[in-house]
Structure 1
Amino acid sequence: MRAESHAQPFSHRCRVYYEDTDAGGIVYYVNYLKFMERARTERLRSLGFAQSQLVGEDLLFVVHSSEARYLSPARLDDELLVSADVIEIKRASLRFRQQVRRAGDGELLCEGRFLVACVRAKSLKPRPIPESLRAAFVESGLPPAGE
């Protein structure tokens, strides 16, 4: 099932620190993945689901696959807006489309897609996404399965 543009946009603000950059003051490429991971975590939190709570319920979200395109560099002290839009929800996985933009001018710096699997914390075996979390995504604008 595919979501169109019904979902409410989500964006996480962060700043580029010295530790995020290379010797030239440009964000090291792998750090964009960290920024996007944080945005996915904050997306869940915005729906009322903290990662620490989910682990206690024998649930983890793990990245199954990722894809990133780097378009323009972020630099030291840039403020970034990192989106985390769920574009597909299946029985035991979420597909996110994410963008990193410079807050000052809105320039698109990096974009990616991530397939995130829902697994049991203890065994790391797939498990269904809890109905309460699925409902929270639907209430935020993601169409229910089959639509």
Structure 2
Amino acid sequence: MPFPVHKFKVRVYYEDTDAGGIVYYANYLKFLERARTEWLRSFGIEQHSLLEQSVGFVVKRVEMDNIAAARFDDLLQVNTQIIELKRASMLFQQQITNSNNLSLVSAKIRVACVDLQKMKPIAIPAFIVGEISSVI
């Protein structure tokens, strides 16, 4: 059974755009990051509490296709779904669409769980795996 899709809305601000009024490509990565943070929060998991335990998620790999441009003041939706859950990493499929449901960005992002003191991979904490597994 597939993991459910988490939906997160984000408004394009002037600071997100380039001189032509379209979203600068690197800012899509920020929108994707915010959506993954809110995805975690939807499980009651706050990253600051993970940091206190020296646990963090770091981006290991990004595959991103820019399909169409977003513009200043657009309201976007970021859809986030896990497509692979491993012992120490997760692979996310994320898509950014505009208010007309036009696909703007498609990305696959692998994040690894690490011990922030040692900067070494560790198993995703059991309570996180349990929360994620409870929705499938």
Q: Name the TM tier (shorter chain).
A: over 0.9
The Cα offsets for residues 81-140 of structure 1, whole Å up to 9 and x where unpaired, read as: 0012111111100100000011x2111000100110000021111110011100111112
Aligned length: 136
Among 75, 80, 88, the residue aligned to 1:79: 75
Between Structure 1 and Structure 2, which shows a larger proportion of strand residues? Answer: 2
RMSD, aligned α-carbons: 0.9
> Aligned partner of 1:108: which letter?
S
> Matches of residues 1-147 of structure 1 in structure 2 within 5 Å?
6-102=2-98, 104-141=99-136
Output the CA distance in 2 between the equivalents of 1:88 and 1:131. 16
TM-score, normalised via structure 1 length: 0.90
Output the CA distance in 2 between the equivalents of 1:62 and 1:86. 15
Percent identity between the aligned chains?
A: 44
Following TM superposition, the consecutive aligned residue runs of length 4 or more in structure 1 with deviations greater than 6 angstroms are none
